[in-house]
Structure 1
Amino acid sequence: MLIPFVNRFFHWAVVGTISPVLVLMIMSKGAQLEEVGFAMAAMSLSVVVFELPSGVLSDLMGRRRVYMASIAIAVAGYVIMFVADRLAVVCVAVALYGVSRAFSSGSIEALYIDSFIARRGKGGLHSLVAAMSVGETLGLAVGALAGGYIPLLWKRLYPLSNPYNGNLLVQVALLVALLALTVLAPHRDAPRGDAPAAKTKIKELFRESARAVRGNPVVARLLIGAVFWGFSFSAIEVYWQPRMRGLLGGADATWLFGIVGSAYFATAIAGNVVAGAFLKKARPSSGMAAIGVLRLATGCAIVALAMQGAAPGFVALFLTVMCCNGMMSIPEGTAFNAAIPGTVRASLLSLASLAVQAGGILSALACSAALRFFPIGAVWVAVGSLLLGSAFLYFGAPDGRPLPSVETVAPVR
C-alpha cells in the first residue's frame, strides 16, 4: 500500500500548494474579482467534458498511460499560468488543469484497486481505500500549509515577480517527481482494446456502465447523492476564504489561510481514520446508514457555520465540516468499489466524479445569482438544508445484498 499512498500524497500536494491562494493568484494574473467565476467555470466545464471519455480511455488504453498523460497536461497548464497576464490566458491555463483532473480521475486509483483485488480479494479493500484517502488528505494538508508561506518567501527572493509564481514552480517540481514515481512503480496494466475495435468497445463500455447503474440501486443512490454533495461542498469550498476574510476585518494574510487550509485537510485525515476504524468492526450492511447519519451531521454543521459571526467559531465549525467530509469518503468509496465490475471501474469512477462536478457547476450558477441578493451566510443555510435532505437517500438502501449478473457498485466523490 506504500506506492498508492505516496502517489496520492504527491498528487494532492500539487493541488494543496495552490488551494489557499487560488483566487488571489487568478486575480494577480489579470482577472478582476467579478471575472474569477469565468475562470472557475472554464475549469469545471473542461472537467465535465472530458470526465467520461477519460475514464473510457483508461479502461481501453491502460490506466497508467492515461494518468501519465494527465501529468503532462497539468505541467502545460501551470507553465501557461506562469506567463499569464490577462483573463483569456488564465482561462486557457485553468481549462488545461481541468482536463488534467479529468484524465487523472479514477485512472491510477482503478489500477491500484484492481491490483489489490487480484492479490487479496475484496475483503480488505477498505484498508487500501483508507490508505489512499489518508495520502490524499495528508498531501493536501502539507501542500496547503506550504502554499500559504511560499508567496511570502518568493516575494523576498524576487520582489518584482508575481508572488504566486513560486507556488506554480513548486507544483511543476512535484509533478515531475510524481511522473518519475509512476514510471518506476511496478504496477502495470495492458491496453484493453485495439484501434480498429475501439469504437465498438467504447459503446460496450458505456452499455455495461449503464447496466451497472440501472441494475444496482445503491449505485444510483450514491450518484444522486454525489450531485447533492458537489452542490453543497462547492459552496463551502469556494466562499470560505472571502467569508473568513470578512470576519477578520479584511486582513490579507496568506499564511493564515495556509494554516486553516492545512488544518482543513488534517481534520479530513482524522475523519478517514475514524471511519476506517469503524468499518473494520461494523457490519457490511451498515455502510449506507452510516453515510446517511454523516450527511445529517454535516448538513447541521454547515447551517451552524453559516450563523457564525466571529473567526474562532467559524474556524471550529469549518473544520468540523471537513472532518465529516473525510469520514464520508471511506464508506462511500468502499461501497462503490466493492460493487462495480473491474472492466468498467475507471469509467464508473469517472461517472461518480462527473456527478460531483455537475453539482459544483449547478452550485456556482445558483450561488452567483443568490449572492446578488443574499449574504454568504444565507446561501450556506440553503445548501446545508439541501444536504440534510439528501441524507434520506441512504436510509433503507439495500446494500450488502448479492448483486445481479452485472457486477455493480456504489459511486463516490
Structure 2
Amino acid sequence: MTAAQVRSRYVFLIAMRWLPVGLLVPIVVLLPLERGFDIAQIGSVVAVQGIVVLLLELPTGGLADAIGRRPVLLIAGVINLASLALLVVADTMALLGLAYLLQGVYRALDSGPLESWFVDRSLAADPEADIETGLAHGGTASSLAIAGTALLSGGLVWLGPVGSVSALTVPVLVALVLSVLSTLAAALLMAEERPPRGKVELLAPVRGMVTAVGGALTLARRSRVVLALVGVEFLWSFGMVTFEQLMPVRLSEVTTAAGPLMGPVSSVAWGASAAGAALVPLLSRRLGARWTGFTLRVVQGLTIVGMGLLAGPAGVIGAFLLCYAVHGAANPVHSGLLHRRAEGEYRTSLLSLNSMVASTGFAIGSIALTVVAARTGTQAAIVAGAVLLAAAAPLYLVKDRRRSSRIEFREHSHSGTSESQAL
C-alpha cells in the first residue's frame, strides 16, 4: 500500500471504531436508571471499567508490540461485542458490572494499536510520509462519527420501543451491529507484515510495562512541570464525571424529555468541542500555552457550575455546550505541554502515565461524585466536581527549578528515538 492508501484505511477504520460510541453516549447513564439502578451503583460499575483500564493499559501495549497490532485489535473487538451483548440484558449489578469490566478490557486492548499500525505502515511505505495530517484527519473523522451517531441515538429513543425492547435499549442493539462491522473491517483492511519471531516471549509485555512505568516516573521525579501536568490530568478527569455521567441525570431533573434530548445535545456538544480545538491557537498566541491552560481550566469549572445551578433545560444545555467547547480547546493545549516536556523514549512513557492517571481520576470521581449525588443531590455533586477541576488551573503555571531540565532528561534517556501519540 502507498502512504495515501494507508491513511484512507486508517481514517475509515477509526470512524468505524467510534460510530458505536456515539450511539451509547446519550443513553449510557439513562439506561441503567431506567432499569432501577441508582446513580451510586452506576458510578461504581463505571469505576470498575476505569480500574481495569488502569491495570491493563501498559501490559496490553506491550502485547501489541509482541504479537502485532491487528491481532490485538481483533481480540478487543470480540470482547467489545461480548460487553455490548451483556449491556443489552444487564438488569442486575453482577451483569452490569461484568459488562463494564469487559468494556475496560476492550478499551485497554483498543488503546493504541490502530494508530500504531497507521504510523508503522505509513513510514514503511514512505519514510517522509505526513503522519501528522493523517492523525488530524483521524481525529476529525472520530468526532464527526460520534456527533452523527449521537444524533441518531436521540432519534431512535424518540421513536420509542421496538416490540419488547425499550427505547433506551435500541441504540445499544444498533451499536452492537456497528461494532460487528467495525471488527470485520479491521480484519479485512489492516494488512500487517511482521517478521517471523518464532515463539512469542510471554514476559515481553511485562518487561515493556516495567520499562515504561520506570521511564515515566523518572521523568516525573526530575521535572516539577511534568508532575504538575499529571496532577492536572488527575483533577481534570475527576471533574469530567460531571459532564459525562451526571449531565443526563441533571437534565432529567429539569425536563421529562432527557432521553430524546441527549442525542442531539451530545451531537452539538462534539461539534462545539471541534470548534473549540480549532480556535485555541488564537488564544495560545496571545496568552501562551501555560496561561491558556490556566484560563481554560477556570472557565470550564465555571461552565460546570452553570450546569449544576442554572434552572431549566435551556440553561443546563447551554452550560453543557460551553463546557464541551472549552474541553475541546483544552485537550490540544494540555497535549502540547506534555509533548514539549518529553523526548525520545520518554514520550511514550509519559503519555502512558498521563493516561493511567486519567483512568484513576475518572474511576475515583465516578465513585465519589455519584455517592455525593445520591446523598445530597446532583447539583451539589456537579458543583463539587467543578471546584476540583478548576483547582488544577494553578498547576499549569508551575516551572522547573532549572531551565536546563530537558538537557538532563536527554542525558538520562536511552539511544532509542521512537515516538508515539495517544488520543
The reply to whether TM is greater than 0.5 is: yes
3-state DSSP class of the match of 1:245?
A: helix
Provide Cα deviations, 1:326-360, integer angstroms capped at 9, x if missing partner.
11222334454677677787665444322111111
Amino acid at match of 1:380: I
- What's the RMSD between the two structures over aligned residues? 3.6
Amino acid at match of 1:171: A
Matches within 5 A, 1:167-246: 167-185=171-189, 188=192, 190=194, 195=199, 197-199=201-203, 202-215=206-219, 217=223, 219-246=226-253
Amino acid at match of 2:263: G
The residue that corresponds to 2:163 in the other structure is 159
| Gaps in structure 1 of 5+ consecutive residues | none
The counterpart of 1:5, out of the listed 8, 11, 17, is 11
Distance in 1, Cα, partners of 2:420 & 2:365 = 23
* Residues 160 and 265 of structure 1, relative CA distance in 2, 3 Å threshold: same
2:57–2:111 CA contact under 8 A, matched in 1 = yes
The residue that corresponds to 1:18 in the other structure is 24
3-state DSSP class of the match of 2:387?
A: helix
Distance in 2, Cα, partners of 1:352 & 1:34 = 26
The counterpart of 1:320, out of the listed 308, 319, 322, is 322
3-state DSSP class of the match of 1:21?
A: coil
1:220–1:410 CA contact under 8 A, matched in 2 = no
Distance in 1, Cα, partners of 2:196 & 2:235 = 33
The residue that corresponds to 2:333 in the other structure is 331
* Residues 140 and 219 of structure 1, relative CA distance in 2, 3 Å threshold: farther
Deviates more, 1:356-365 or 1:397-406: 397-406
The counterpart of 1:354, out of the listed 338, 344, 356, is 356
The alpha carbon displacement at 1:201 in A equals 6.0
Matched, 1:366 2:368: yes
Provide Cα deviations, 1:51-77, integer angstroms capped at 9, x if missing partner.
232222223322332222111110111
* Residues 191 and 388 of structure 1, relative CA distance in 2, 3 Å threshold: farther
Identity %: 24
Distance in 1, Cα, partners of 2:196 & 2:329 = 34
The residue that corresponds to 1:104 in the other structure is 110
The residue that corresponds to 1:258 in the other structure is 263
* Residues 201 and 173 of structure 1, relative CA distance in 2, 3 Å threshold: closer
Matches within 5 A, 1:383-402: 383-397=385-399
TM-score norm. by structure 2 comes to 0.81
Distance in 2, Cα, partners of 1:141 & 1:159 = 27
Amino acid at match of 2:247: W
Deviates more, 1:389-398 or 1:141-150: 389-398
Amino acid at match of 2:232: G
The alpha carbon displacement at 1:90 in A equals 2.3
Distance in 1, Cα, partners of 2:356 & 2:50 = 10
The alpha carbon displacement at 1:361 in A equals 1.6
Q: How many residues align?
A: 405
1:110–1:346 CA contact under 8 A, matched in 2 = no
1:152–1:163 CA contact under 8 A, matched in 2 = yes
Deviates more, 1:199-208 or 1:51-60: 199-208
Amino acid at match of 1:76: A
The alpha carbon displacement at 1:298 in A equals 1.6
* Residues 148 and 196 of structure 1, relative CA distance in 2, 3 Å threshold: closer
Distance in 2, Cα, partners of 1:5 & 1:205 = 29
The residue that corresponds to 1:309 in the other structure is 311
The alpha carbon displacement at 1:232 in A equals 0.6
Distance in 2, Cα, partners of 1:67 & 1:346 = 19
* Residues 41 and 388 of structure 1, relative CA distance in 2, 3 Å threshold: closer
1:289–1:396 CA contact under 8 A, matched in 2 = no
